[in-house]
Amino acid sequence: MNIDKYNFPDDLYYDTHYQWIRKDGEKVQFGLTPYGLDVTGDVLYLALPGIESNISAGDSCGSLEAGKWVGRVYAPVSGKVTKVNEAVISSPGLISQNPYACWFVEIELARPKELEGLMNSDSFVALITEELKRDA
């Protein structure tokens, strides 16, 4: 689904922290959407939880420093971290080049039903459309 200059693939989930979430079996990967990049600016630093860390949906699980923003990364779902994308930690600028390829961590889902609380592309586009109207 496209809006303005942004593309939001239909096969992903989205959250209110401008993150995309990709489900693969009983695991998910997540990262920052192109809109999230515009809000934050180019990512300069990224800290993420270690492998085997247990994280809970909605809780902070890392930090991000960017050109316009410094803040926390929030877990979109609960579970155990099974992989960390070391490439984006060592070179966070990669996120700006291809945000949908630059996932942060992979999480083994503890509560698969939490995915139902995330947005599909239509819902996310509606949220972004309202924000763009408000900011215009």
Q: Point out which residues pair with 134 in neighbouring strands.
A: none
- pLDDT single digits (tens) 70-89: 999 999 999 999 999 999 99
- pLDDT single digits (tens) 80-118: 999 999 999 999 999 999 999 999 999 999 999 999 999
Q: Is the CATH code 2.60.40.10 the one for domain 12-131?
A: no
CB 34 within 8 A of CB 12: no
User: How far apart (Å, rounded) are the C-alpha atoms in residues 19 and 134?
Assistant: 20
User: How far apart (Å, rounded) are the C-alpha atoms in residues 83 and 24?
Assistant: 13
- pLDDT single digits (tens) 54-72: 999 999 999 999 988 999 9
Domain ranges of the chain: 12-131
